[in-house]
Amino acid sequence: NAGVTQTPKFRVLKTGQSMTLLCAQDMNHEYMYWYRQDPGMGLRLIHYSVGEGTTAKGEVPDGYNVSRLKKQNFLLGLESAAPSQTSVYFCASSSISGTTSYEQYFGPGTRLTVT
Amino acid sequence: GQSLEQPSEVTAVEGAIVQINCTYQTSGFYGLSWYQQHDGGAPTFLSYNALDGLEETGRFSSFLSRSDSYGYLLLQELQMKDSASYFCAVRNTGGFKTIFGAGTRLFVKA
């Protein structure tokens, strides 16, 4: 059981470039989330998904797009990277039922620098 | 609006007990969670309170008072490995948005 995995682990982009971050989970979770974490700050929700084919905006969605074509994968896209998007990006997933739906499992993170 | 407040730093001695407080303001409330994050690592789930009272899991306990919009995480028999950041988080009613606090950095000294 790999849990939640993220690809890539590190990336450096130039302003204006685009990229896609891939998140995969093998726990058959319905819910998946993308967060960003800036130094000294908590996690801020970018987008989330409550099931295959559905996505919704979180707290800070501008400049990002997402897709959930398969239940196990959740993709985060940056169309035109900006230095303000330099951050650590975490993907998380959780189950649909009962109190375990509040337990989010996080991937190892992707450290993105935009120059 | 929605906000969570927790102290930015706490320092304690190995073997001691420490309490990390969290006050929240949300448009709805499903429950209060706590996560631990070591430097360079991913957050890991510690505990969850949906109802008022104390939940105990080993050396860690978490408390919630919904009438006071307040909760805390209690860490007993502190160990050096407990040095980490601790985040409280609330999930608001009717949605799946989880809002995290800015985190409390715990330093455990020998």
Tens of pLDDT, residue by residue over A34-80, are 999 998 788 999 999 999 999 999 989 999 999 999 999 999 999 99
- A106 CB neighbours in chain B (<8 A) are 42-44
Return the minimum-mean-pLDDT range out of A47-56, A71-80, B76-85, B95-104. Answer: B95-104
Please report, for residues A7, B5, B47, B62, the alpha-carbon distance to residue B87 in angstroms, rounded to integers and kept in the order given.
25, 10, 11, 12
- B43 CB neighbours in chain A (<8 A) are 43, 90, 92, 104, 106
Q: Are A66 and B7 in contact (CB under 8 A)?
A: no
The CA distance from B103 to the nearest CA of chain A, in Å, is 6
Q: Which tokens hold the place of B51? A: 């109802």
Separation of CA B39 from chain center: 17
Which pLDDT band, with edges at 50, 70 and 90, does A86 fall under?
A: very high
Secondary element (H or E) of residue B47: strand B44-49
pLDDT at A18 over 90: yes
Residue corresponding to tokens 């209060």? B32
CB contact under 8 A, B50 and A99: yes
Substitution target from A10, A32, A43, A105 for chain B, most B beta carbons within 10 A? A43
Residue A84, classed as helix, strand or coil, is helix
A vs B, Cβ pairs < 8 A, gives 57
Q: Which tokens hold the place of A81? A: 């990277």
Q: Are A30 and A98 in contact (CB under 8 A)?
A: no
Task: Give first-to-last CA distance, chain B, whole Å.
Answer: 41
DSSP per-residue string spanning chain A: ---EEEE-SEEEE-TT--EEEEEEESS--SEEEEEEE-TT--EEEEEEEEETTEEEE-SS-TTEEEE-SSTTEEEEEESS--GGG-EEEEEEEE-SSGGGGG-PEE---EEEEE-
pLDDT at A14 over 70: yes
Substitution target from A104, A105, A111 for chain B, most B beta carbons within 10 A? A104
The predicted pLDDT at position B95 comes to 58
Q: How far is residue A92's CA from residue A4's CA, in Å, rounded to a whole number?
A: 7
Tens of pLDDT, residue by residue over B9-33, are 999 999 999 999 999 998 778 889 9
For a pLDDT cut of 70, what percent of chain A falls above it?
A: 97
